[in-house]
Structure formats: C-alpha cells, structure tokens
Structure 1
Amino acid sequence: YNGDQMAGELNMQSKHSIEKQTAHNVDCFTTVSEITANECQELLDKPVDVILMNGFENDFVPKGSSYVAKRKKARAALLNLANKLLGTHLDDSTILVSTSGRYEFKNKGLDVYLESMNRLNRDKNLQKDVVAFVTVPGWVGEPREDLKERLDSKNDFDTPLYCPFVTHWLHDMSNDKVLDMLKYLGMSNAATDKVKIIFLPCYLDGNDGILNFSYYDVILGNDLTIYPSYYEPWGYT
C-alpha cells in the first residue's frame, strides 16, 4: 500500500503530509489497537512505538441491586416517554434499543441503523414491539412543550403528537438527515407499526427538559445498544 500515492489520488496530500511528518518526528507515536497499528505502518510508513488499548473502565456500570434499580427506573422512563409521544400503550415486554454518538450520519452508521429498523418493521415474523432510540445531539432548539405537558400528566393518551419522532424541536427540521431518511423510508410511527423510532437530538446531561436522565443512566434501560460505526478501530469509544 502506498499512502503517498493514495493521498495524491484523493487530493489529500496536505493532510497526509502533516500526519506522516508528525508520526515520523514525534518522540512517541501511539495508537489504540493492533488494527490501527497495522494501518499506520502501511499508510504512514512508520510503526507505532506503543499500543495504548482503547476502552472503558467498568466502574461506571452499577453493580448488583443498584444496577437492577437503575435499569428499572430508566426503562420505565423510556417507555413512558414513548407512550406519551406516540399515544401508545407499550408495556414492559417491549424491546428497547438505541444508538448514539456524534451526528456523523454515515460514519456513525445512522443510515444503517435506520434502514435496519425499517427492514425489521416490515418483517411479518416480528412478534414484539420495538422502540429504537437515536440519542445523537443535533441542532436542537427547545424541549417540546406539548410533550412536557403529557409527561407531567398522569393520563394515558391514544393519539400521537404532531411529528411523533422527536422529543425536542430542531432549528432546521426540514433538512435534518435523520428525519429526512425516516420520510424517505416511509416510516410514520403508526399504531400498527411494530418498530417505532424516537430521536433524542440533545446531550443527555440530566437537564435536557424531557427525559432528564444522564446518558449513562439512560443507556441502562435498553435491551440492546447498536453501534454500526463505519470506522471504529477497536471497541466503542
């Protein structure tokens, strides 16, 4: 593999040159996995000095009864959010899934995630309801007042809110890639759909105005998390 030649073909000589010269002249050149170490050798013609394995410490995951309690609380909040937004009566047998990351539509595989959910929705053999969350910060405006009113109410609702995909209004709804793809796929979050999509386009810091859970607390409520990222070198970061 000739990195210089490929950079020329892609008209990326400047970026490639800076990266290559940096790799060759730093005191210590590191990367996060054996895979990316091989890439560096091929692309930059320089072996790494040390591999610093990427990953998480596991102390952010609660243990024992604390985990059970937090998962139960998060799951109840997610189901309540879905029911109030969608005007449904989804119960605890519902499968909750999510994806998250930066709003890089193709790099983070958001297109793959939505297409997969659309295919699942069309699967006649699907028996359970599925709610698929997209927890990706977008150009968020403000929390939906109509949704906040429903969440504050103890009543059940049988009709969906307008645009039953988003928990917060966006500044440019007509050009949002997630909403555009849902429209392209013909997904409507209809009552008869077994798979429903909910877009949480904000940072989950515990003060988003709708869910008000931190990201690491919210994620516990899911049955499955999906990260179809195009370029992850090792694990989830």
Structure 2
Amino acid sequence: MASQTYSIEAPCTKELGDISRAKGNPIPFWNVNVPASLQTKECPEFLQYAFDNAKDRAILSTPDARYQRQSWQEVQDLIKTNRLDLFQRVPTDLRRYREFTTKLAKDYGSVMTFVMQERLRWRDLKPNGRPFEYLEDSEDYKILHNDWPYGVDPRIVHLVVWTKFDLPSDPVTDDLTPQTRHLINSFVDQLFVRNCGSENVIWFKNWGSLKSIHAVEHFHVMLFNPDKSFIDGITHGDVPLAEKIRNSEAT
C-alpha cells in the first residue's frame, strides 16, 4: 500500500499579518481552500488545536485538488492492520468537521448530546433485549451514515451502527473481546455481507483513544459500491451532515 505524505506549506504562527497570495508569502494552513475574501489574519478558534496536531495541520495545508483519496484496498489494509489512526478527511471536510463540532459543543454542551437528541432521537440507552436479538425493526440499534466520512473513494459508503447495549473491549489491550467480535461479525454477515458480498464489506470499532463520541456504543461499517436502495432502506433515507452542509454552501 502506498503511503501518503503531506508537507506543511506555511509556517505555524498564530498570526501572519499579510495574508495575500503574493510570491514569498505562503498561505497559512487555516486559509488554504478558503476564498480570498473569507481569509483571516488570525487562526479561527476551531482550528487552533492544529498548532499541536501535525497530522491535521498537514491535511489542512493541502489544497483539495491535491488530496488523494484512499482506495478500497487501502481502506481494507488500514482496518486489517489496525491502523485506524491513518484514516483522514478531505481538507475542506476536516475544516467543516472541526467548525461544526466546536459549535455543537457550545450549543448542546457536547457532541454526544447532539447525537442522542438530533441524530438518534433516543431518550435513554436502556436496551429492550439482548444484543442484536432482532435483526430488523429493533429499537436497540440504529444505522446511520457517518456524518463526517473519511476521504476515501467516493464509491465507498461509510455507515455507523449505534447501539444501546454494550460492546465490551479488553481493558488491557483496548481491543474487542472475542465474544464481542463474534457478535458483531454475525450481525454484519447477516445484514451486510448477505446483501453486498463479503469482498465489499469491512467493519471496525475505534480504539477508545480514537473515539470522538465515548458515551454511545457504536462501530463502523464500510461498503464498496453498495446498492443505493439497500442503503436508503437500512438508514431510512438518512443523509450525512457533511453532505447537507456542502449542499447549503452551494446554494
């Protein structure tokens, strides 16, 4: 699998003064992919974390036109080798993601509260039955699009399976217990592999250190070029927030 390397195109100072595109005056990372009329002298609050995050700073420094999406083979390799930390978003999507989640934290107190109230519409996390006891029409889990999918081949659909029941991990290794892995495998086989084929399905559960939402159990399923009617059916026509925001910006 080919590795992908980014270079920082601008010095990491919190204020650059002149932000013009003149030769010899590189654009700071927070102004890359931003129209000249909307560029700012100082780094926005929601991107200041990137001064201490080299990976995200490098991505934000990259013009969208130069970003290389990860292929289905690369996606499978990252998951199979447990290198989930190497997933990344398209630069403008990363910027939108950081801006949106910063606003959510202010408006709702936490991203988890927003997800519970607005995305899952669950009042509590008390399951009605055993994990995946009912494959269809269960109130104990919900399948939605990943609101901020990674920068992968556009044919790849990234879903999140949210559950009211626990999916235990080993406290020492932070990896799933064998029982949990078997449980998820069985569910994925019945619902996704049966409909999409094993070669087009892969799943993973983030390590605790990589989770952006800790209080609601969930795991990720990625599908290569699935039938849209199947996706619409299991998500009940869900549309990811990133797509809604991009569409609103275009109008």
TM-score by length of 2: 0.27
TM-score by length of 1: 0.28
- Larger-Rg structure: 1
